[in-house]
Chains A and B, each alone.
Chain A
Amino acid sequence: EAQVTQNPRYLITVTGKKLTVTCSQNMNHEYMSWYRQDPGLGLRQIYYSMNVEVTDKGDVPEGYKVSRKEKRNFPLILESPSPNQTSLYFCASGPTGGGTDTQYFGPGTRLTVL
């Protein structure tokens, strides 16, 4: 089944404790991206990647890191999480650039930073 998977689905952590949210797609997509969703603000893009080893900042990249060492994986890293990073996070993938093709979204990761 074609899908985007994220792990963990739920995470409660404390300020400053490094964490990684994994994202994997099995559709051989070139493009992958991360969004955060906050009430009243819709989805805001954090980072995106056009291909392996190519990553770029989205609209809200501060406090986040990403890497794209393999085509299928695009982990999101929070080196020192803070409470304002409490949010619902989505990974997405698409055949090509974000706006030109259908994007396939993962189920989301609900992160709480205390």
Chain B
Amino acid sequence: SQQGEEDPQALSIQEGENATMNCSYKTSINNLQWYRQNSGRGLVHLILIRSNEREKHSGRLRVTLDTSKKSSSLLITASRAADTASYFCATDAGGNKLVFGAGTILRVKS
């Protein structure tokens, strides 16, 4: 079952611009995570935000969580060509399972 759904499916921006990706989910969660995947490679963890947190920062990344709207957003500021990747949100709905969305493909043009 797919819990999180990312939006947009694909995003193309110029280097230096900000990139915003959104994730919506269906059921209550304990926390939400964002991962990055470079083409065909393993996923790399970016940020984990708990259900009692509203915002979290890590370097050029900013994640927000709105549990009332069941949504989260990932903002990458001052994007670089190296940020080109797929980005996935993953939710913990209990039961020791992590459920991933279908992902947003980000392309940063230099």
Contact = CB atoms under 8 A, between A and B. Distances in A.
Interface of A: 4, 31, 33, 35, 40-45, 48, 50, 56, 58-59, 88, 90, 92, 97-108, 110
A99 B96 contact: yes
A39 B99 CA distance: 16
A31 B97 CA distance: 10
A41 B100 CA distance: 9
A63 B10 CA distance: 32
Q: Which 4 A-B pairs have the closest CB atoms?
A: A99-B92, A97-B96, A105-B42, A98-B98
B45 A42 contact: no
Interface residues of B, number: 28
A43 B33 contact: no
Contacts of A108: 40-42
A54 B18 CA distance: 44
Contacts of B45: 102-104
B88 A107 contact: no
A40 B101 CA distance: 9
Nearest to A31: B96
B93 A99 contact: yes
Contacts of B94: 99
A4 B43 CA distance: 11
A40 B102 CA distance: 6
B48 interface: yes
Given A41-B2, A102-B33, A103-B33, 15 more contacts: A40-B102, A42-B102, A43-B88, A44-B100, A90-B42, A97-B92, A99-B29, A99-B90, A100-B92, A101-B48, A102-B45, A103-B43, A103-B45, A105-B44, A107-B41
